[in-house]
A and B are shown apart, each in its own frame.
Chain A
Amino acid sequence: MAVPQDLFYAKTHEWVSLEDGIATIGITDFAQSQLSDLTFVELPEVGTEFESGDEAAVVESVKAAADVYAPVAGEVVAVNSNLEDAPELINKDAFGSGWLFKLRMADESEVDDLMDADTYEELCPSA
């Protein structure tokens, strides 16, 4: 499993990339592989404010539904509406075009509480 080095990771298998105070959030390749083919994604509304750890989205495969948590606090500034018609983007490209939503972070230093790629990889069994 390839885990990109330049991202931050949460224990609940979300990844975060940070640019200019905006955090892009998705689920990891390990997470998508556990759920198999995704068929539906419930995304938050733009403008919603999350504390870190809040339930932010739901991803569903044919037989599984899993909650996705906001790994950091902030306000939703964008959601990946491509997923509505093509949830399989998450299976195909979890770390890229399968991103879920973007948050304007309340406190950028919060990413320091997340894991780096090496630590995350140790947590995850190799798929």
Chain B
Amino acid sequence: MQRRVLAARQEGRIPDTVLILQHEPVVTLGNRGRDNYLLKTAEEYQAMGIDLFHAERGGDVTFHAPGQWVLYPILHLGGNEADSHGYLSNLEEIAIQTLGDFGIKGFRKAGKSGAWTDAGKIAAIGFRLKKWVSFHGMSFNVNLDLSGFQTIVPCGLVGEPVASLKTILGDSCPSMDSVRNSLLEHFSNVCQRDLERFDADGELPAALQDAMT
């Protein structure tokens, strides 16, 4: 579906679009995905109920599951003032500002990408540009079961802990809805794009409906 929305954006049939969603448990490898960052065999992943998927994005191996928001901005990056800081830096900024909403200090790490907290890495980034339209994007850990990360070397970084809002805030962890709203609001500000929201199961504008089906 992401590829169809991408094609629609490349052809100018739809404006810049952001998909925000949760994945069923899945380990994904990047464009140059290295199997040696997988710590289990294909059979073991299957037994754990985790799918394996080779994605076309940049970046290394990562884990997605319900309780984690995945933000896939389908943006034309070929000439918007807001994008001139670099799209990667914008994605990190969205994560850091979202953490700030919940009283958590987020930061970047030199030479690495993503958003970090004192408790570990909380947002992972990997994207691809085709005809200067972005796809894939960023995942942000809210309250997912982090054990899936123990089956991989996340982003090829050995010995780096992974955190979620839940591991940091415990019982005062915000709801998924509230985190989604923060992410989208900061996306709007950082990337300077006004968003109109639609529910994928509800009524969609005709061009988007066409692109998704």
Contact = CB atoms under 8 A, between A and B. Distances in A.
B58 A62 contact: yes
Interface string A27-52: 00000011110001000000000000
A11 interface: yes
Contact of A67 (B59, B78, B130): B130
Contacts of B131: 12, 67, 69
Interface residues of A, number: 23
A63 B87 CA distance: 11
A30 to B, nearest CB: 8
Given A13-B132, A64-B58, A65-B58, A124 B127 contact: no
Contacts, number: 69
A61 interface: yes
A69 B131 CA distance: 8
Contacts of A34: 77, 83, 86-87, 129
A61 B84 contact: no
A86 interface: no
Contacts of A62: 58-59, 112-113
B81 interface: yes
B73 interface: no
Interface in B9-42: 30-32
Given A33-B86, A34-B86, A63-B127, A11 B78 contact: yes
Interface string B57-85: 11100000000000000000111110110
Given A36-B88, A63-B113, A65-B58, 19 more contacts: A12-B131, A34-B77, A34-B129, A35-B129, A36-B86, A40-B32, A58-B31, A60-B58, A61-B58, A62-B59, A63-B125, A64-B126, A64-B128, A65-B30, A65-B57, A67-B129, A123-B78, A124-B79, A125-B81
CB-based closest 9 A-B pairs: A66-B129, A65-B58, A125-B84, A64-B58, A63-B113, A125-B81, A65-B128, A63-B59, A65-B31
